[in-house]
Amino acid sequence: MDYIHDLHSFLPGIIVAAAGLLVIMLEAFKKGVHLSYGATVAGLGIAFIFSIQAMFGDTGTAFSGMIVHGGTGAFGMMIVLLGALFCVFISKDYLQDAGLHNGEVYGMLLFATTGMLGLAVSNDLISFFVSLETMSICLYVLAGLIKTEKIGAEAALKYFLLGAFSTGFLLYGIALIYGATGQTNLTEVAAAAEPTLLFFAGSALLLVGIFFKIAAVPFHMWTPDVYQGTPTTLTAFMATAAKSATFVAFILILTRMLPDTEAGDWTNVIQVVAVLTMIIGNLIALAQDNVKRMLAYSSIAHAGYLMVGLAAGTAAGYSGVLYYLFAYTLMNVGAFGVIAYYERNHGLDFTEIDSYAGLGFKMPIMGVMLSVFLFSLAGIPPLVGFVGKYYVFAAAVQAGLIPLAIIGVLASAASVYYYLRVMVYLYFREAHKEYTLKTPGLLFKSTLILLAVLTIYYGIEPVLPTTGLIELITSYYAV
Amino acid sequence: MELLLNITIYLPLLGIVAFLFIKGDEAVKWTSLGVTTLTFFLSLPLLFSFDVANSAVPQYVTEGSPIFAGMDIKYLVGLDGLSMLLFMLTTLFGPIVILSSWSSVKKSLIGYYSMLLLLQTASLGVFSSLDLVVFYVFFELSLIPMYFLIGIWGGSDRIRATIKFFIYTLVGSLIMLVALIYLGYNAGAATGVYEFTADWRFISSPEYTIGLVEQTWLFLAFALAFCIKVPLFPFHTWLPYAHTEAPTAGSVVLAAIMLKLGTYGLIRVCMPVFPNAFMEFAPYMAILAVIGIIYGALVAMVQKDVKKLVAYSSVSHLGFVVLGIFALNTIAVQGAIIQMINHGLSTGALFLIVGMIYDRRHTRMISDFGGVAKKMPVFAVMFMIATLASIGLPGLNGFIGEFLILNGAFFSTLYANKAYAVIAALGVILAAAYMLWMYQRVMFGPITNKENEKLIDLNGREIGLLVPLVIFMVWIGIRPVDFTQYSEEWVESYISITEEKSVAVLNETRTENIPDWTAKFYSVAEKQSDGNFVTLKD
């Protein structure tokens, strides 16, 4: 039956949406937050398993071509769910200590995840837009969770206003593309596309909307304030799952909607934006004294590296980007997790780098893990961040974009300074006063350890005799 | 034997895992010592059963499968004539550096010894990997432990020193990474089987040649990374800084092992892979090397701090190694390889000695000492031998390396100018001047500083860790052939491969296909031997 096939294709999304509804109902009947938390973990976990299954399945479209199933989309769903699941694991203790542990948080998180899942598989501009809005509106709410502080309100308002503005661009772009081609389905748009002014204007506005969501320069202004004002574990959720979903949608648009003709050649624009994003993201990050803001600018810079892979426009480039998103999710959730741990002990404003002095020796395992995640973000082998960067830059070199690759590696050399700076404070400076650190909860600690182990494991996985992850991803693009 | 090689490389990592289960500072120290000693003894069979006559062929090779179809990146380790001695030098220094910090390091011991053990694995990995991507991974991995060793256990200005060291080396190696990726795709296309290959055995073989334009850029990118690591003048500024701030064990590993990664890379990659560029750039590299020799020696002469003096002497000594490498004849390259070992032994010993006196007096200023020989006779003997070895006194190891290098450089056809060797020889004289002058001011004369009255001579542990180094200094000095035999076959065959490849590239090149600057720089028209070349465009 056709609709069975349709439902099966979007099964992870349906499960997560159902879990979201369940959580809202549980809250309505005051069943307590622990039950909601259990429902969230169960929903995301089951969806995660189904998404892994879909990664190995066949590829095609469903819902009359509205979504894709299998391949890139399935891998995107897996990354989103991985990020969401890990963020939920580290959120519990953190939100409890911050007094923000309500069931509604998980409801919003699940609906946002549903939007991201839709985004990762959308094959139609309408489903793309609806999913993006589902995700964004829930994220606006999550950004404003710290209601008592000014930074919380600033984050939510800034995100909402600028987000609404960018949505306008996006929708206008979709309208123009529809006007030019009479289609909204990605592949049909590609077939009908002519290099007309209308189509160019539409694609350009669509790209502006996407650049805003992935925080590419010059559409990045909202990122540091929003990341700083959002509860840290939810910042991790925004920085990984939301960004991955948008990037996967971006890949789908580039590969399916923009044709291989002159009308669809946006490589130069992506290259320029990639260069700007890498340079400006890294340079501003150098000057940050707040760890969360530093990671916000670093996430801008990472969007730049990812766009290097997109600019290559080859199978190797797209698979490199997917791998990088996976890598980025592991190490970024980990880094935010450790920051959340330090915040749990000293209050929500404990993110100034100076206050980290000497903390590395206080709870050694946390310090070591933060170092692992930061080294991985800096792209030092043998950690997963290096492997991701390697695939992306290798694709650029292969596509003949050697200057772009050189700018990329130099930018990432500059980035090493600000990652190392955190470790300088953690280990090389004396503590200002005696802190006593709480013992992290078992779930929290084991989640971070798992992330650190995965960061190291996927760093050496390419040379292990097992079938590599990259091999699976590359098979999605085999013609 | 293949398995033994892998065990030797990864055994130190096992030591780090063991730290999770043991408690107490003493246990940590003894575990580290046990692990590194075991590593050393396990590496001995590799040396003894090494087939010297076939040293050009990698031995004990472990070969994994490519990461996926088309991408020939794989786990590939083995030892050949070039890496054998350096591998052994690394395993020898394992227990020595552990012992050297036995009583001087008191802060977070588990971290400290984990870093030393991680560094051991990374260095062994660099010397044994034959896949260039794996090589790169180990090359970079060695930075992390050194960063923490200097940053946590270093001197007062450690933070700036360690960041400068890290960023400086990283910039070089990242540019090398781009070149490596390009090289991999280029070589992969040449195999006809793969899209990408990083297998050194193929890349360095006569079957694979690279066009002149690509060679130029790739050579410059690789050479930059290695020259920063060496460090060759003018990329040396991070070194004295890192050395003075590093703890004793860090300085020893930095001098004895890590600096060799650069010179090793020059021989391993730059020579057989980019033969034309290597030969054309040789005179320029030799100029930098000679400047480094003289400059390092002159700056060493005016240092007030013993450790800084030894650090600058490293710049000078490694200038000799680079001079030997680029002379590209058997004598000079053999000299460069044995000089890498020599520098490891003698400078390693000198840093240990500086560390010992620093532990006693908490100062390294030459002016604070004087007359130490009276109080510490055994120390004086050890210090003297290391000093003389470093200067290059006949009968000790330094002489062998410097003699071979100068001899080879003198007759090198690439340099075509005897001035390089002549000026470099001045460096030996300067070395005698600054080392002996320093020795005299520290060890002889009356005891002017009352603090020095209380000095006690070396204890058993300290003598024990210097004696093996002294034995090798004398052994290499008297019977160098026991050591040079390992690399002889390798050097001969790879020099001839390099020369053959360069001729082949020149003969394949058509001047109309390359830019004018390339044709002029490589003198393509004059050098082509088959006679059917076209003349240079005007």
Identify from B143, B177, B199, B224 which residue to disrupt to test chain A contact, counting A C-beta atoms within 10 A and taking the largest count: B177
Q: What is the pLDDT of residues B5-43, one digit of tens each?
A: 888 899 998 888 888 888 788 888 898 899 999 999 999
Give just the sign of the alpha carbon dihedral B406, B407, B411, B414.
Answer: negative
Confidence of residue A348 (pLDDT cuts 50, 70, 90): low
Smallest Cβ–Cβ distance between B178 and the set A409, A420, A464 belongs to: A409
pLDDT digits over B354-370, tens only? 998 888 888 888 888 88
Q: Which residue has the tokens 């969360």?
A: A292
Count of A-B CB contacts under 8 Å? 92
Contact A390, A306 (CB under 8 A): no
DSSP B281-322: HHHHHHHHHHHHHHHHHHHHHT-SBHHHHHHHHHHHHHHHHH
Euclidean distance between CA atoms A92 and A38, whole angstroms: 11
Strand B59-63 to B76-79 pairing:
antiparallel
Residues of B near A (Cβ–Cβ under 8 Å) read 64-65, 67-69, 73-75, 108, 111, 133-134, 136-137, 140-141, 143-144, 147-148, 151-152, 158-159, 162-163, 166-167, 170-171, 174-175, 177-178, 181-182, 184-185, 196
The angle subtended at Cα A398 by Cα A219 and Cα B507, nearest 5°, is: 145
One-letter amino acid for residue A279 of the chain: I
pLDDT grade, residue A112 (50/70/90)? very high
**H or E, element range at B196:** strand B196-197
Note the ipTM here: 0.77
Query: In this complex, which of A381, A428, A467 lies closest to B158 when CB atoms are compared?
Result: A428
Mutate to test the interface with A, among B144, B173, B214, B245 (most CBs of A within 10 A): B144
CA of B149: which chain A residue's CA is closest?
Answer: A428
CB–CB of B181 and A394 under 8 A?
yes
pLDDT of residue B529: 58
pTM metric for this prediction: 0.85
* Burial track B395-427 (b if 16+ CB lie within 10 A, e otherwise): ebbbbbbbbbbbbbbbebebbeeeebbebbbeb
Please state, in angstroms and rounded to a whole number, the distance separating the CA atoms of residues B221 and B174: 9
Name the average pLDDT for chain B. 87
Name the residue among A380, A393, A467 with its Cβ closest to that of B178.
A393
Tell me the three-class secondary structure of A305-328, residue by residue: HHHHHHHHCCHHHHHHHHHHHHHH
B208 near B190, Cβ under 8 Å?
yes
The reply to whether residue A381 touches residue B140, judged by beta carbons under 8 angstroms, is: yes
What are the structural domain ranges in chain A? 266-479
DSSP string, B18-85: HHTT--SHHHHHHHHHHHHHHHHHHHHHHHHT--GGGTTS-EEEEE---SBTTEE---EEEE-HHHHH
Averaged pLDDT for residues A440-463:
90
Phi, psi of B482, deg, nearest 5 = -60, -25
Q: Which of B68, B170, B174 sits opposite A470 (nearest CB)?
A: B68
> pLDDT tens across A152-171, in order?
888 899 999 999 999 999 99
Question: Containing H/E element for A67?
Answer: strand A67-69
Helical H segments across B415-459, by residue range: 419-443
Q: Which of residues 349-368 of A touch B (CB under 8 A)?
A: 361, 364
CA distances from B323 to A153, B220, B394, B409, B501 (A): 65, 17, 20, 7, 22
The whole-angstrom separation of Cα B341 and Cα B324 is 14
CB atoms within 10 A of CB A437: 14
Half-sphere exposure of residue A282: CA atoms within 13 angstroms, side-chain side: 24
Establish if A479 touches chain B: CB-CB under 8 angstroms.
no
Q: Which chain B residues have a beta carbon less than 8 Å from that of A417?
A: 163, 167
Whether residues A424 and B163 touch (CB distance < 8 A) is answered with yes
> Is the CB of A375 less than 8 angstroms away from the CB of B144?
yes
Task: Name which of B162, B167, B182 is nearest A413 (Cβ-Cβ).
Answer: B167
Average pLDDT over residues A451-465: 87
Whether A315 and chain B come into contact, CB under 8 Å, resolves to no
- What does the domain layout of chain B look like in residue ranges? 2-505
Give the up-direction half-sphere exposure of residue B477: CA atoms within 13 A in the CB hemisphere: 23
pLDDT tens per residue across span A9-53: 889 999 999 999 999 998 888 778 888 999 999 999 999 999 998
Please, which contacts does B403-406 make with residues 24 or more away whose CB atoms are closer than 8 Å? Answer: B403/B335, B404/B324, B404/B331, B404/B332, B404/B334, B404/B335, B404/B338, B404/B339, B405/B320, B405/B321, B405/B323, B405/B324, B405/B327, B405/B332, B405/B335, B405/B336, B405/B339, B406/B320, B406/B335
